[in-house]
Amino acid sequence: MKAVCAVLAGVSLCLVLGCNAVYSTKPVGETVIPVKAEDWEGTWFNKDGTVRLAIHDAEQGILQLAWIEKMKLESYQVRLLGAGDWLFANIRETGETERYLWARIVRDGEQINLWVPAVEKIRVLVEKGRLPGTVEDSGTLILGDLTTDHLRLITSEAEGVLFEWDKPIVLLRLTR
C-alpha cells in the first residue's frame, strides 16, 4: 500500500524510509484538465494494496483518493494538471509548509501508470540553475515556480529521462 500512497497520497514511502523526494512549491503543470467519472472513479489496485478514486471537482481536474491504513481512513485530493501532452498528479503534503508531491500520470483504459521524479537527475538540473529550486540538508529537493520553459525541459528528453522510468507504479481498476 505504501507505494501507491507515495505518489497519490502524500505519504511518501521515501519519506517513511528516510530517502529523498522531489517536491514543488506549487502544483506541477499549467493547464487544468477536466475529468470524467467513467475515466477515473473506482477501486484501483496493485501488488501493495487498493485505493478508491472519486471525482471531487470535475471541471478543475481534482480527484479524491482514499484508502484504509492501519484501520484508519486516509484521504487526499489529487490535482491533475497538463503540460504539453503530459499529465501530472499533484498532492499537497500535509503540514505547515505548502509543498506538493508530484508525478507523471498516464491513464490507459483500466490502467494508471505513475512515474515519480528521479531525485538525482533533478538535483543536477537545480544545481546547474536549469530548474529553480533548493536542496535541503536532508537531500530533499524543493522546486520553485516552474515556467513553461521549465515544464518543457521536464517533459522533453533533452536532459535524459527525469523520472524513475523503470519503476512505474501501476494501478489496475477492479471496479467502477
pLDDT in tens, 44-71: 999 999 999 999 999 999 999 999 999 9
| Res 4 pLDDT > 90 | no
161 neighbors 168 (Cβ within 8 angstroms): no
Q: Say which residue the cell 520553485 belongs to.
A: 144
7 neighbors 164 (Cβ within 8 angstroms): no
- Please state, in angstroms and rounded to a whole number, the distance separating the CA atoms of residues 104 and 1: 19
Number of H helices, E strands in the chain: 5, 12
Report pLDDT for 19.
59
| Res 156 pLDDT > 90 | yes
- Structure confidence at residue 12 as a pLDDT band (50, 70, 90): very low
Look at the pTM and tell me if it is higher than 0.85.
Answer: yes
